[in-house]
Chain A
């Protein structure tokens, strides 16, 4: 099979899987509703219990799962391509950690209790600060190493400040709320969260999605790419701010969800011949599939214990990543 035919096959399978998993996500939950009833309730305007569950609880959850999964997969593939580093992932730029810090501070100060959007807005502010710092450090002509190091510094500082907030938290309940929030989850999110995160995620993904060709050229290094007409400053701007907008918004509504952005591009890279421009769309779809599956699994594995999504992705993702590293260790050496 030619490379192009295999790419089309992989993309088609993932697209179908995404649709199926999205529908499945709508039908899994503690209220056992039959498939036909639930689909009908989605579009009914009766306002009964089933319609309420479908429209107010399951639909936003499925939409967020899809959006955030797509964001994680896409930004992971873009960052790996831009930094030419297979270990790059959305969390690397310090955006997840800073967004988390913003959220934690809003819980700590009581802002989140005072009004509903306090937490996501504070998280978005955290993401913006992180990206401004990283971009200022790297400069307009900054290399990938500077970006990685600046990201590590921002992540460490945000982590330390989060620890401080936990350390000084006024009561154990606040500390517990902070801990739980940081684990990452899609439980009890509403359409308000969708409307808050949606525009940022959409804008971020649009900035990232057009980078494929430039990332192809970057396979040969920065100088070679520039000599082929790639504007490196524009690519850096789009990669960094696109990640900030989409991952900042995703973290703001769902907490930090690890490993999806790292592992998904890794799994799919060999299937599309490692070409960055082909990796972007399949990683976006793959991320959506993985996150929707994980969010369905947490509801099936422990329906009454509220297993956190971020815990599951890390528990499954980390050993899987270890296996991937083991399998490809000859290439990495």
Chain B
């Protein structure tokens, strides 16, 4: 099933064209790594797909034109994890996760289903032991888990995550990638913009590489991540190998000939 479909999406920020015609489909069960150099348009792509930025072209969510659905209904289909782990007030972890139910709630308290979904998200992200602590006092890794639990509480079939692994230690990075991969296996779709090519290669089912606002490669990690392409797009030389558990990609040095 197609969860999200973009066709000829063009977005300009001020006078500068950032996305120059993006066409892609996201199916249930895919864990897509959105890769590309700084300024390539990864965050813009995610924000435009959510309707946070205006552009030209078509955006369809679960087959329906986004112009025809309300922001609240859109939130039933797509959850979003911004790059900044912003938490303005010292609310408890539990309260913060419950905010994710916002698009599903009417007036009144949390329903039994709300509570069940919140509880599931808390258990899944293993944040039960600090559920009563203030969310702003947590470490970076704990915060990241709590915010993903918030997005899971939204219970949407598609999750867009903007650089979710930035600033996390290897244990948390891998834990996050495992959860995203599990979500995809359960039939949801996940798109995560990433800079860590090693993690992307190892965990994503599909990679989309963008550069200067255009898709330059789209396919399996093996097909997208070639030494030649990394040299052209990122301007780096790299070590690439395939081992038992998947691909290993390690950028080595800047390639002086490329820039």
Listed in ascending order, the chain A residues whose CB lies under 8 Å from chain B are 3, 84, 213, 216-221, 223-224, 226-231, 269-270, 273-276, 331
**Size bin of chain B's contact surface:** 35 or more
Among the interface residues B91, B100, B134, B147, which one has the most CB atoms of the partner chain A within 10 A? B91
Among the interface residues A224, A227, A273, A331, which one has the most CB atoms of the partner chain B within 10 A? A227
Q: With contacts A216-B99, A216-B102, A229-B71 known, is A223 near B80, CB below 8 A?
A: yes
Q: List B193-237 residues whose CB lies under 8 Å from chain A.
A: none
B138 within 8 A of partner (CB): no
Q: Which 8 A-B pairs have the closest CB atoms?
A: A229-B72, A227-B80, A229-B75, A221-B86, A84-B88, A274-B89, A229-B103, A229-B71
Q: Which residues of B contact A270 (CB under 8 A)?
A: 90
B78 within 8 A of partner (CB): yes
Q: Complex: how many Å from CA A231 to CA B72?
A: 9
Listed in ascending order, the chain B residues whose CB lies under 8 Å from chain A are 47, 50-52, 70-75, 78-82, 84, 86-92, 95-96, 99-100, 102-103, 105, 134, 136, 147, 150, 154
Indicate if the CB atoms of B95 and A224 lie closer than 8 Å: no
Sample of 10 more A-B contacts, CB < 8 Å, known A221-B82, A229-B72, A331-B136: A3-B92, A219-B91, A220-B88, A223-B50, A226-B51, A228-B154, A229-B70, A229-B102, A274-B134, A275-B91
Indicate if the CB atoms of B78 and A220 lie closer than 8 Å: no
Across the interface, name the chain A residue whose C-beta is closest to B105. Answer: A213
Q: Complex: how many Å from CA A221 to CA B136?
A: 14
Q: Complex: how many Å from CA A226 to CA B160?
A: 14
Q: Complex: how many Å from CA A224 to CA B103?
A: 12
Indicate if the CB atoms of A217 and B91 lie closer than 8 Å: no
Across the interface, name the chain A residue whose C-beta is closest to B74. Answer: A229
Least CB distance, B122 to chain A, in whole angstroms: 15
Give me 6 A-to-B residue pairs in the complex whose CB atoms sit less than 8 angstroms apart, sorted by A's number: A220-B147, A221-B88, A226-B50, A229-B70, A229-B71, A331-B90
Indicate if the CB atoms of A224 and B86 lie closer than 8 Å: yes
Instruction: Name the contact of B75 in the complex, choosing from A221, A223, A227 (C-beta under 8 A).
Output: A227
Least CB distance, B1 to chain A, in whole angstroms: 21
Q: Which residues of A contact B52 (CB under 8 A)?
A: 223, 226-227
Indicate if the CB atoms of A220 and B99 lie closer than 8 Å: yes
Q: Which residues of B contact A274 (CB under 8 A)?
A: 89-91, 134
